[in-house]
Structure 1
Amino acid sequence: MIGRLHTVVIDCRDPDELAGFYEKLLSLSRQADTGDYVVLQNAAGTPVVTFQRVDGFRAPRWKDAARPAHMHIDVMVTDLDVAEAQVLALGATLLDGSDKPVGYRVYEDPAGHPFCLITPEGA
Structure 2
Amino acid sequence: MIGRLYAVVIDCPDPDELAVFYEKLLSLSRQADTADFVVLQDASGAPVVAFQRVDGFRAPRWGDPERPPHLHLDVMVPDLDTAEAQVLALGATLLDGSDKPIGYRVYEDPVGHPFCLITPEGV
Note whether the superposition's TM-score is higher than 0.5: yes
CA deviations on 1:45-87 (whole Å, 9 max, x unpaired) are 010100000010011100211112266xxxxxxxxxxxxxxxx
Aligned position for 2:5: 5
Aligned position for 1:55: 55
CA deviations on 1:9-63 (whole Å, 9 max, x unpaired) are 1000110000000001111000001110000000100101000000100111002
Higher strand share: 1
Structure 2 regions of 5+ residues with no counterpart?
72-123
Normalised TM-score (structure 2): 0.55
Total equivalences in the alignment: 71
Contact 1:39-1:50 at 8 Å conserved across structures: yes
Contact 1:8-1:50 at 8 Å conserved across structures: yes
Aligned position for 1:65: 65
> RMSD of the alignment, in Å?
1.2
Give the letter aligned to residue 16 of structure 1.
D
SS of alignment partner, residue 24 of structure 2 = helix
Aligned position for 2:27: 27
Aligned position for 2:36: 36
Instruction: Kindly report which structure 2 residues correspond to 1:86-97, keeping only aligned pairs within 5 A, or say none.
Output: none
Structure 1 regions of 5+ residues with no counterpart?
72-123
SS of alignment partner, residue 68 of structure 2 = coil
Identity of counterpart residues, as a percentage? 79
Give the letter aligned to residue 56 of structure 1.
G
Check 1:13–1:36 CA distance in 2 against 1; reply closer, same or farther (3 A cut).
same
Which 4+ stretches in 1 moved above 2 angstroms?
none
Contact 1:22-1:28 at 8 Å conserved across structures: yes
Give the letter aligned to residue 48 of structure 2.
V
Aligned position for 2:74: none
Check 1:13–1:57 CA distance in 2 against 1; reply closer, same or farther (3 A cut).
same
